[in-house]
Amino acid sequence: MRHLNFFSIAAIALACSMQASAQTVTTDVMDPATEGSFMKIINDAKPGEHVDINFNFDGTELVYKGTKAIDLQGKDITINGLNAKTGKKVIFTSPVQKNEKNEEVGSSMFRVCKDTKLNLTNVQITGCQKIALFCENNGVLNISDCNFYNNKDIKLESGNNGGVLRHSGGTVVIERSVFEGNEGNGSYGGGAICSYNTKDKALSLTVRSCTFNNNTGINGGAIAVNVRDNNCVPTVRIENCTFSNNFISNRGGAIYMQDAHKPATNAEAFKPVFVNNTFVGNTTSITTSDDGGAINFWARATAVPMEPILFNNLFASNYYDPFKNNRLNDIKCFYLEGDKAGDTVQPQTVNPKVANNIFGAVEDKFYVTFGSKNNNSAANFGSDEIFLGKELNPFEGGDPEGTHFTAKLYGDLKVAAIAKNSVAIGKGVAKFEGIEAPATDQFGNARPATPSVGAAEYTDMTATGVKAVGATANGKLAVVNGAIVATGFEGAAKLDVINVAGQWMLGATVRSGERVAIDNLPAGVYVARINGASVKFVK
């Protein structure tokens, strides 16, 4: 057996310390020469070294005034934007600036490129005047518990694909985040996210438990994926997401997926997966054809047929041509069997596999083709019990005479919650085509063996209706009748309540049996903790 001497141990310890470090941002000055600044920490990070970046500074915003994205090539960075001074998420923003030609220009925020990994959590990115994030080559981008508001490219140029993220290679995983008010105007589309494969670069996109609300673009108000003839086929899975009130001028009110790769290049089919998502109030303003109020799948006649898999999804109040004929429209496929382009019948290039979805547009060819198969069904947004609440769709501009309604959104994640007697309850399936449905819903609540259709299981959103219990050997924690009650322990203990973004929201020192009211908490999803017991609850 080999024995390690003091110097060997010291060398190993030194090597480990060189591979990881924790740094804290202590100022809102974005200057690489300033100690404690975000830019200095980023610039000083070495390739191959993992750096955890935390925040403890006065203020709320970090304003980036560069003209190019912050290039992270070769670096391994984790950014946890929860500011210890404020208990709130740090806001990254980038204003309009003037270049050397006195032209107005915007800037992006981060570029994840070759051999790069970025973990982004508890961050808000707002008002970038160019695409905020890039992931390319073999980069890895993990996003969790973030907010992306009102980002777009002020030039509205053809290359502006993805108002928040342009994803042309590598792996992207996005969880529990909100995308709202973003705008993408490139022909590929994607008001928030655009993914497209480049030559020989593997591409994987996973989006779970996110909300895309009121985003806009030319194609795909929320997400666009373009499969090109480049020797690789993307992997895409979208689950537990709410797509609400996204608006586009062409195809796919919420999602647009285009496939143009040829059999001679790669015979593998593109098989995007959609499971337990809610699509409500999404719209395309096009008047000439039903181009997908919620989703548009388009594959060239020369392409390998696309094979999207959809199960447990809920569609309601999605439209095309909304200002004239109010045409309900959930999904458009170019092409299904018998479709024509002009007078010419086209080969079927989209072969969906569809089960246990609820649709609102029963006149769609998509519903006519699949509605009677695999427990797919229809619901009427006007008369059936579906969502917990309704409100005027924002694309009406607040006009009280507006005729288009959408679901109210609840909690920090802005979820389209379902009603107590919703037609969506118990209409899903746990597995389809070998793919497992998510074990929890968008709120984080466990799904039953027979899940609901859509992003949410039924949750009583009133405090008096919360009945959650957590227990350990040190005691029991319950949330009931508008209060938190801890029992089964001796002496005093510290109770903490954290929201889903990791922010501390409420604390108290309590004794067994004492009640702590939650009346002052805003509506949302929380975790209460005491003496090793914890419980998740929704107010």
Q: How confident is the model at residue 14 (pLDDT cuts 50, 70, 90)?
A: very low
DSSP string, 260-278: ---TTT--PPP--EEES-E
Give the C-alpha separation, 39 to 401, whole Å.
Answer: 50
Q: What is the pLDDT of residues 166-220, one digit of tens each?
A: 999 999 999 999 999 999 987 788 999 999 988 878 899 999 999 999 999 989 9
Q: What is the mean pLDDT of residues 305-333?
A: 92
Question: Radius of gyration of the chain from Cα atoms?
Answer: 25
What is the token pair recorded at 352? 């969906």
Give the C-alpha separation, 518 to 539, whole Å.
Answer: 8
Q: What pLDDT, on a 0 to 100 scale, did the predictor assign at position 197?
A: 87
Give the C-alpha separation, 405 to 427, whole Å.
Answer: 24
Burial of 452 (0-12, 13-18, 19+ CB in 10 A): buried
Q: What is the DSSP letter of 365?
A: H
Q: What pLDDT, on a 0 to 100 scale, did the predictor assign at position 156?
A: 67
Which regions of 346-459 does DSSP assign to beta strands (E)? 353-355, 358-359, 377-378, 390-392, 405-407, 431-432, 435-436
pLDDT at 20 > cutoff 80: no
pLDDT at 249 > cutoff 70: yes
Sign of CA dihedral 325, 402, 216, 173: negative
Q: How confident is the model at residue 247 (pLDDT cuts 50, 70, 90)?
A: very high
Q: Identify any residues that bridge with 275 across adjacent strands, giving them in sequence order.
A: 239, 311
Q: What pLDDT, on a 0 to 100 scale, did the predictor assign at position 425?
A: 98
Q: What is the mean pLDDT of residues 448-455?
A: 97
What is the token pair recorded at 482? 């508008």
Q: What pLDDT, on a 0 to 100 scale, did the predictor assign at position 522?
A: 84
Q: What pLDDT, on a 0 to 100 scale, did the predictor assign at position 470?
A: 55
pLDDT at 329 > cutoff 50: yes
pLDDT at 147 > cutoff 80: yes
Contact 291, 297 (CB under 8 A): no
Q: What is the pLDDT of residues 37-61, one digit of tens each?
A: 999 999 999 998 999 999 999 999 9
Q: What pLDDT, on a 0 to 100 scale, did the predictor assign at position 13?
A: 44
Q: What pLDDT, on a 0 to 100 scale, did the predictor assign at position 468?
A: 54
What is the token pair recorded at 149? 């508001």
Q: What is the mean pLDDT of residues 227-237?
A: 85
Mean pLDDT for the chain? 87
Q: What percentage of the chain reaches a pLDDT higher than 70?
A: 90
Give the C-alpha separation, 77 to 48, whole Å.
Answer: 10
Q: What pLDDT, on a 0 to 100 scale, did the predictor assign at position 507?
A: 83
Q: What is the mean pLDDT of residues 320-327?
A: 82
Q: What pLDDT, on a 0 to 100 scale, did the predictor assign at position 538?
A: 78
CB atoms within 10 A of CB 44: 12
What is the token pair recorded at 511? 């004794």
Q: Label the pairing between strands 235-239 and 203-208.
A: parallel
The total number of residues shown for the chain amounts to 539
Q: What pLDDT, on a 0 to 100 scale, did the predictor assign at position 515?
A: 77
Q: What pLDDT, on a 0 to 100 scale, did the predictor assign at position 299?
A: 86
CA distances from 231 to 199, 264, 438, 513 (A): 6, 10, 31, 64
User: 68-77, 272-281, 400-409, 426-435 — which is least confidently predicted?
Assistant: 400-409
CA distances from 338 to 83, 334, 481 (A): 57, 11, 57
Q: What is the pLDDT of residues 69-121, one digit of tens each?
A: 999 999 999 999 999 998 899 999 998 877 778 877 778 999 999 999 999 99
Q: What pLDDT, on a 0 to 100 scale, did the predictor assign at position 158?
A: 67
Q: Label the pairing between strands 247-248 and 216-217.
A: parallel
Side by side, the strands of the sheet bearing 358-359 are 61-63, 90-93, 123-126, 147-149, 178-180, 211-213, 242-244, 278-280, 314-316, 358-359, 377-378
Side by side, the strands of the sheet bearing 235-239 are 20-25, 50-55, 76-83, 117-121, 140-144, 170-175, 203-208, 235-239, 273-275, 309-311, 353-355
Q: What is the mean pLDDT of residues 246-273?
A: 87
Closest C-alpha to 297, from 315, 265, 274: 274
Closest C-alpha to 147, from 206, 81, 84: 81
CB atoms within 10 A of CB 152: 25
